[in-house]
Amino acid sequence: MKKVEIKTTGLELKKLTGKTTEDGKMADTRDLIEVCLDIIPQGGFTPRDIRERNRIQIVLDKSKEKKPKSEMKSSNDILEFEDHDYDNLRVIVGLSRWVSRDKDLQAFLDTFKEID
C-alpha cells in the first residue's frame, strides 16, 4: 500500500479545470488527482486506461464519504493506493499538462515524481 497525504492547496479549482465549480473552492490533493484522471491521453482512453483510472477514482470516492465521528480514524487525511494503482497514478500525473505553474501545483507534482 502506498499512502498519499490529502492537502489543501492555494489553487482555485475553477481556474485549473475551466469547469463551473463552487466559486473560490480551493483544490486539494483529491481534486488535482481527479483533474489528472480526466486529462485525455493522446489518441483517447483505451479500455485499460479506463479500468486503471476508475480504480484510482474508487479510492478518491471512498475518501470523500462522510462517516460518523465514531468511525473516523486518524488516517482521514490519507489516501491509500494499492502499489499497482499508485504506480499508474504516478505515470498519469507525470504525463499531465497544466494551465498553471503555481508553487502549490509543483508541490503536488513533486509528490508523484520518481526519485532520481
Long-range contact set of residues 50-55: C-beta below 8 Å, sequence gap at least 24 = 52/85, 52/88, 53/88, 53/92, 55/82, 55/85, 55/88
Least confident of 24-38, 65-79, 81-95: 65-79
User: The pTM is what?
Assistant: 0.83
For residue 83, count CB atoms less than 10 angstroms from its CB and return exposed for 0-12, middle for 13-18, buried for 19 or more.
exposed
Q: Which spans in the chain are helix H?
A: 13-17, 29-38, 47-64, 83-94, 103-111
| Domain edges within the chain | 2-111
What average pLDDT does the structure give for the chain?
Answer: 85
**Looking at residue 116, what is its pLDDT?**
39
Confidence bin at 16 (pLDDT 50/70/90): confident
